[in-house]
Chain A
Amino acid sequence: MPRIEYSLLTTQLAKWSRCLTAIAMALAFVSAGCEAKQPADSTPKATERSVVRVAAASDLKFALGDVIAAFKKDAPTIHIEPTFGASGVLFEQLTNHAPFDVFLSADITYPRKLIEQQLAVADTEFLYAYGELVLWTSKFSGIDVEKLGIQAVTDPKVRKIAIANPKTAPYGRAAEAALKSLGVYDTIQDRLVEGGNIAETAQYVESGVADVGLIALSLAVAPAMRDKGVFWIVPADAFPRLEQGGVILSDAKDSAAAEKFRAFLISPAGRQILTNFGFNLPGA
């Protein structure tokens, strides 16, 4: 009896293992095939769809969606593919030659460093906005940030204060500088929690894991947050100006398409969208 069972099993499983090998090989083949096809797909031609990969600071998470939608009407063949992150993290990836075409940083010093390292095209540097910092809290927190201003962070109800990581996020550096210059930093230092980027920081306060947070105005006015909280705008002289700048990268696959997108962002139409999201504009 065990012998019969064993021989049956053997033949069945020899089939099984052959089948598995075949599946494995097919999978390897398919994935190799997909890879091989990709470079051909992305070869730009005037009439063909081209893809512009944008590495964008997280404060643009919602504003850039509107910019992209408006740009699509102007240039339907150009497809914008955004990736969001802290400007410092994106900068680090770009120094390792991450395959992006345009970099929209929340701090213009990063694009400038890329130009120095010849990773970005020198004459494509542009200033697209000045960032605004706000102290945000949920409608239900019972903390009157509009009346208290920065003193709200010292409220006993506040257990956690969210800021972005100052090492990698320009808004985190701005928040730290503002807390220091407004004289509350030492009192509240042990209540600070750091988000990896400004969008994550905003999510901390939006979801209530932090009671208040210093976030970008462009996130606070976005539909995802607008009706959920109240905020106080941190005075511009409390922190070094957030000069948000961009650049086209040297490795850009289709620099003509990238240039079109850059031009749109600083055109009146692009500037209007940025204004809607609370950005201050250069030369305005």
Chain B
Amino acid sequence: MDWNAAWLTCKLAGATTAVLFALGLPLAVWLSRTRWRGRFLIEAAVALPLVLPPTVLGFYFLQFAGPRGLIGQTFERLTGEMLPFSFFGILLASIICNIPFAVRPFETALSAVDPSLIEASWCLGVSRWKTFWSVTAPLAWPGIVTGLVLTFAHTVGEFGVVLMVGGNIRGVTRTLSITIYDDVQSMDYARANTTAVALLLFSFVVLGITYGLNQGRARAR
């Protein structure tokens, strides 16, 4: 297995998960509480990456975040770096890809929290911020952890967008799933198999933990 790629993959998945925890959670809180009629549009937009082909995302990413695109030019002016074929480029693309994997479980879990508990807390004079962390989040935590775990695991398994946006550069954008593609083309099946087995076990363990967590929680109720 390519340890350089393994570290890069962890870095990408960790950063994606961290960003989506910070940005996805407030969005999910809003979605779970709002009574706005247009909510379904935001929910549809959040779910979009689930059905969109990675090539569509990759294509628009290169259009808008490439050297001739508005986002790309702005980013380059601010940082002097390019977005495509860079770590930040694949990070940004993988954040977009993973929005539904984080926000949807967050939202489901938060919606299931009994509003009367939250209102009771407010009536007792506890601030909204503190109520969220001491009442809402503890009740919704299996869903929040599920979202984070799925995001991490899905980023580890991301292939199409990373290849299209990142281009397969060692130490920068060559993740584990791309080393498998490379190894197969080099007919190095033994190495491809080592990585594939590792990813298979990782995915199974991660999903096992997630389902175990939710099953345990359901029984406790």
Contact = CB atoms under 8 A, between A and B. Distances in A.
A21 to B, nearest CB: 8
Interface string B1-38: 00000000001101101110110000000000000000
Given A24-B21, A96-B85, A31 B15 contact: yes
A5 B138 CA distance: 12
A202 B174 CA distance: 22
A98 B164 CA distance: 11
Nearest to A9: B138
Contacts of A155: none
A38 to B, nearest CB: 8
Give the size range of A's interface with the partner: 35 or more
Given A14-B133, A58-B185, A99-B169, A31 B62 contact: no
B168 A85 contact: yes
A42 to B, nearest CB: 10
A14 B19 contact: no
Contacts of A31: 11-12, 14-15, 87, 91
Contacts of A253: none
A32 B14 CA distance: 11
B170 A81 contact: yes
A30 B14 contact: yes
A27 B16 CA distance: 9
Contact of A53 (B12, B169, B182): B169
Contacts of A61: 185-186
A34 B19 CA distance: 16
A132 interface: no
Nearest to B91: A31
B100 interface: no
A17 B137 contact: yes
A162 to B, nearest CB: 13
Interface string B128-140: 0000011101100
A84 interface: yes
Contacts of B22: 24, 28
Interface string B83-96: 01111100100000
B11 A30 contact: yes
B137 A13 contact: yes
A198 B82 CA distance: 29
Contact of B88 (A13, A25, A35, A98): A35
A255 interface: no
Interface of A: 5, 9-10, 12-14, 16-17, 20-21, 24-25, 27-28, 30-32, 34-35, 53, 58, 61-62, 81, 83-85, 93, 96-99, 197, 199-200, 202-203, 206-207, 224-225
Given A10-B134, A83-B168, 20 more contacts: A12-B138, A13-B141, A14-B138, A17-B144, A20-B144, A24-B17, A28-B19, A31-B11, A31-B87, A34-B11, A61-B185, A62-B186, A83-B170, A84-B182, A93-B84, A98-B84, A98-B167, A99-B82, A99-B172, A199-B185
15 contacts: A9-B138, A16-B138, A17-B144, A20-B144, A24-B21, A25-B18, A28-B14, A31-B12, A31-B14, A31-B87, A61-B185, A98-B85, A99-B172, A200-B185, A225-B187
